[in-house]
């Protein structure tokens, strides 16, 4: 089902621009992500990284530019599509400020991710015909399987709001995985995690790429994680893409160093 | 301890002060004199003092418990013990069912009438629970759909002589249609804005009914509506009341069944997700528009059914039965019961409808008790009488199946 050919792109972004009134939060950004790649998007706070995510995932409609997703159905331009349509096409995301469903159980949170891959309607819910029952059972089983992978099964029936912080971040990833994405977008997944949790997360992200063949685009400030994981890195500052390349190239890029040092000098 | 006493004392004084105008001063309009009922002040003071002591004690206990391990609390909580323990739960249900079925044989027409009304509010509460409790859409105009159902039966019966059973599905369908009609324009609205628009919608429906004389016979309403027929039997008034009681009881049971199934389904989870976080819900692939419309439409359908029943029960409808107060009471049932909790809604409906009836002796204090208990609820138990317990799944390590241990009520 998923394309295993490493050279095929999953996502192509061309000249993406997003204005908020007079503020240009994203300024003609290009990006291309290949199948099975782990790509990092870094940059100082306020650079426009989250806004870039929001444009791609349909939460904002970009001012201009093209966003093209390559699915098994062919190329799809997704500008202006609703978030749920984008998710259906195979992009799933997590949020920088955790956005779980606090008064639902952990398992139910993941099962929500199955929504767009299942079909039961009101009539099915009321009659609980064999088809619906099977679908429900499968949804629960698949979700449980994802929790097993993430290591949260012991909390499956706990309310999401009762989870410790690190587990909440993980649950966001689990929920996104349940939508069967081809590209997973992670917005600062390690934020607030301790070094050990970050280590675990690094392993998990790599596992998702290697085993599930899902491409990953992540925003992250933890440079150790970024350098460890990424195949390629994009750097944004003031809405613009200021650099792109392998971790080695980025480390030694004078523009990048300036952007980060400049930020520190400002602070 | 002294500090606690002081706090209770202050509360008592506050209550005495606040209730002074209503409880103490009474204007005798005949003789134009003022009656000072000082004894009431003492009752209020003493009542508020002890009331506040008890509340604080309960509150202390609650916070004390919440410091304990969460899972331990889950195990210990009475409510969870009931819901988790199938034996206890089924016994309780059996007792409740036996009681409700036997009820008409143990009581008089007046009691049956009150109970029928209470059960109707159970159904209305559960219907609104879909919209407000599950999907989190604050709807202050729910009574509009109730009116649609009631007037469908009243008008179709008046003009075309259609019977109850024929109109029941029509009333439900019309209300559903109105639910969708209201749903479309408010899709983009949330929270307060949604509340205001739905409130307006409810008022518009009532005003139309009040003023469009040619259509709805205005404020004087429509009378002489047929009672429901049951298998062609001829029933006298009291028999027909009993039959209606069983009809509404049946409705309540079906509604409980439906809502319970809905809330643990794909659609039900989508409603909850929408309530919990709209953006995350969409980002997880849920179509917000469809989900909201289904909630509105389904909630309205139940109100439509009950509207038809209401018209058949009272044999008379006029716009005065469909004021905002009615919406407010139904909403209070949902909020008091605990958003999304079926058991809570049932309890709250029974309490809010039955208590005022049986407290007629204290009719002066009725609204005060009503309002006061709502405020206290909001302060001490904002999650409602019974918080919504979600379904738990049990997984067999070896056999990967979606077995459930219990279903949340
Ligand atoms: N909804 C919005 N309305 C107006 N300005 C916004 C909005 N979202 C983000 N911005 C602005 O866009 C810029 C980029 O923000 P953001 O994308 O969150 O940065 P990052 O994620 O890189 O830290 C900031 O200056 C922010 O204030
Ligand atoms: Mg950000």
For ligand 1, the distance from its centroid to the CA atom of residue A25, given in whole angstroms, is 6
A194: tokens are 């301790």
| B88 shares a domain with B64 | no
Asked if the structure places residue B73 within a domain, the reply is no
| B199 shares a domain with B55 | no
Residue B69 pLDDT exceeds 90: no
pLDDT of residue B235: 78
Indicate the average pLDDT of chain A.
Answer: 91
Asked if the structure places residue B402 within a domain, the reply is no
Nearest residue in A to B383, CA atom? A103
Q: In sequence order, what E strands does chain A have?
A: 9-20, 23-34, 38-42, 64-71, 74-77, 91-93, 183-187, 215-219, 232-237, 240-245
Residue % of chain B over a pLDDT of 70: 87
Asked if the structure places residue B388 within a domain, the reply is no
Looking at per-residue confidence, does A233 or B357 come out higher?
A: A233
Looking at per-residue confidence, does B121 or B353 come out higher?
A: B121
| B235 shares a domain with B349 | yes
| B157 shares a domain with B22 | no
* Rounded CA separation B299/B312 (Å): 21
Nearest residue in A to B74, CA atom? A158
Which of B222, B196, B185 has its CA nearest to residue B321?
B222
Asked if the structure places residue B94 within a domain, the reply is yes
Q: Cβ of B399: how many Cβ atoms within 10 Å?
A: 7
Residue B19 pLDDT exceeds 90: no
pLDDT of residue B48: 82
A246: tokens are 């392998």
Q: Cβ of B76: how many Cβ atoms within 10 Å?
A: 12
Asked if the structure places residue B194 within a domain, the reply is yes
In chain B, how many domains are there?
2
pLDDT of residue B61: 64
| B133 shares a domain with B31 | no
Residue after which a domain boundary falls, among B21, B39, B68: B68
CB contact at 8 A, A179 and A214: no
Residues 193-232 of A with CB under 8 A from B: none
B402: tokens are 């979606």
Going from the C-alpha of A165 to that of each of A100, B212, B390, the distances in angstroms are 11, 58, 22
* Rounded CA separation A115/B269 (Å): 9
Q: Cβ of B199: how many Cβ atoms within 10 Å?
A: 18
Give the HSE-up count for residue A135: Cα atoms under 13 Å, Cβ half-sphere.
Answer: 19
Q: Percentage helix, strand, coil, to 5, in chain B? A: 75, 5, 20
End-to-end Cα distance, chain A: 48
Domain that holds residue B285: 84-380
* Rounded CA separation A4/A35 (Å): 7
ipTM metric: 0.92
Model confidence, pTM: 0.83
Closest CA to ligand 1's atom 3: A20
pLDDT of residue A265: 47
Asked if the structure places residue B392 within a domain, the reply is no
DSSP A188-232: STTTT--HHHHHHHHHHHHHHHHHH--EEEEE---HHHHHHH-SE
The SS3 assignment for B409 reads: coil
Query: Is any Cβ of chain B less than 8 angstroms from the Cβ of A126?
Result: yes
Looking at per-residue confidence, does B61 or B384 come out higher?
A: B384
| B130 shares a domain with B11 | no
| B171 shares a domain with B45 | no
Asked if the structure places residue B391 within a domain, the reply is no
pLDDT of residue A256: 87
pLDDT of residue B16: 80
| B90 shares a domain with B41 | no
pLDDT of residue B86: 66
Residue A261 pLDDT exceeds 90: no
| B40 shares a domain with B179 | no
CB contact at 8 A, A190 and A220: yes
Which helix (H) or strand (E) is B36 found in, with range? Answer: strand B33-36
Closest CA to ligand 1's atom 26: A46
B225: tokens are 């509506």
* Rounded CA separation B27/A219 (Å): 71
Indicate the average pLDDT of chain B.
Answer: 83
pLDDT of residue A26: 97
Q: What's the average model confidence in pLDDT over A39-46?
A: 95
pLDDT band at A1 (very low <50, low <70, confident <90, very high): very low
pLDDT of residue A23: 94
Q: Find the residues whose C-beta lies inside 6 A of ligand 1.
A: A 20, 23, 25, 43, 45-51
Which of B278, B296, B293, B290 has its CA nearest to residue B191?
B278
* Rounded CA separation B263/B154 (Å): 33
pLDDT band at B47 (very low <50, low <70, confident <90, very high): confident
| B59 shares a domain with B26 | yes
């Amino acid at each position: 089902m998923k394309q295993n050919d490493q050279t095929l792109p999953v996502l192509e972004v061309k000249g993406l621009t997003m204005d908020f009134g007079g503020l240009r939060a994203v300024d003609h950004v290009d990006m291309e992500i290949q199948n099975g790649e782990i790509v990092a998007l870094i940059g100082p706070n306020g650079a426009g990284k989250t806004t870039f995510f929001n444009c791609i995932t349909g939460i904002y409609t970009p001012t201009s530019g093209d966003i093209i997703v390559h699915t098994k159905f062919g190329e799809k331009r997704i500008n202006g599509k609703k978030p749920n349509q984008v998710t259906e096409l195979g992009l799933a995301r997590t949020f920088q400020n955790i956005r779980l469903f606090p008064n639902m159980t952990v398992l139910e949170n993941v099962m929500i991710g199955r929504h767009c891959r299942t079909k039961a309607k009101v009539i099915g819910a009321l009659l609980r015909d064999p088809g619906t029952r099977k679908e429900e059972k499968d949804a629960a089983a698949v979700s449980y399987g994802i929790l097993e992978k993430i290591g949260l099964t012991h909390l499956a029936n706990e309310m999401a709001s009762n989870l410790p912080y690190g587990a909440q971040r993980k649950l966001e990833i689990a929920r996104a995985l349940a939508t069967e994405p081809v590209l997973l977008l992670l917005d600062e997944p390690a934020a607030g995690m301790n070094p050990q949790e970050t280590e675990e997360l690094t392993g998990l992200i790599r596992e998702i790429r290697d085993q599930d063949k899902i491409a990953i685009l992540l925003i992250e400030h933890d440079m150790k994680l970024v350098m460890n994981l990424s195949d390629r890195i994009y750097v944004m500052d003031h809405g613009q893409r200021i650099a792109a390349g392998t971790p080695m190239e980025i480390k030694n890029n004078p523009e990048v160093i300036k952007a980060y040092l400049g930020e520190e000098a400002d602070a | 301890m002294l500090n606690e006493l002081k706090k209770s004392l202050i509360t008592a004084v506050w209550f005495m002060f606040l209730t002074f105008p209503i409880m103490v001063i009474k204007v005798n309009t005949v003789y134009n004199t003022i009656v000072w009922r000082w004894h009431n002040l003492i009752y209020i003071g003493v009542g508020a003092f002890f009331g506040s002591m008890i509340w604080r004690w309960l509150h202390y206990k609650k916070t004390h418990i919440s410091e304990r391990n969460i899972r331990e609390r889950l195990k210990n909580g009475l409510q969870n013990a009931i819901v988790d323990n199938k034996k206890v739960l089924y016994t309780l249900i059996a007792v409740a069912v036996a009681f409700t079925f036997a009820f008409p044989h143990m009581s008089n027409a007046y009691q049956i009438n009150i109970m029928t009304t209470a059960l109707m509010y159970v159904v209305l509460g559960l219907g609104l629970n879909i919209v407000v409790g599950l999907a989190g859409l604050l709807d202050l105009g729910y009574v509009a759909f109730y009116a649609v159902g009631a007037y469908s039966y009243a008008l179709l019966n008046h003009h075309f002589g259609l019977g109850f059973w024929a109109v029941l599905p029509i009333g439900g369908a019309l209300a559903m249609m109105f639910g969708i009609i209201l749903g479309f324009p408010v899709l983009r609205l949330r929270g307060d804005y949604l509340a205001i628009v739905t409130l307006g919608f409810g008022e518009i429906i009532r005003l139309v009914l009040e003023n469009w004389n040619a259509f709805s016979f205005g404020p004087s309403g429509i009378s002489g509506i047929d009672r429901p027929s049951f298998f062609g039997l001829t029933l006298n008034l009291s028999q027909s009341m009993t039959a209606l009681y069983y009809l509404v009881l049946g409705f309540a049971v079906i509604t409980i069944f439906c809502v319970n199934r809905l809330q643990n389904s794909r659609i039900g989870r989508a409603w909850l997700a929408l309530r919990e976080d709209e953006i995350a819900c969409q980002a997880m692939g849920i179509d917000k528009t469809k989900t909201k419309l289904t909630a509105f439409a389904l909630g309205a359908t139940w109100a439509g059914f009950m509207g038809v029943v209401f018209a058949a029960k009272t044999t008379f409808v006029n716009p005065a039965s469909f004021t905002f107060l009615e919406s407010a009471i139904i909403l209070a049932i949902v909020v008091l019961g605990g958003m999304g909790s079926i058991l809570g809604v049932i309890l709250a409906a029974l309490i809010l409808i039955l208590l005022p009836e049986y407290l007629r002796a204290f009719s002066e204090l009725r609204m005060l008790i009503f309002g006061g208990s709502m405020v206290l609820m909001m302060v001490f138990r904002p999650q409602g009488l019974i918080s919504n317990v979600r379904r738990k799944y049990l997984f067999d390590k070896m056999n990967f199946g979606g077995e459930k241990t219990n279903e949340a009520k």
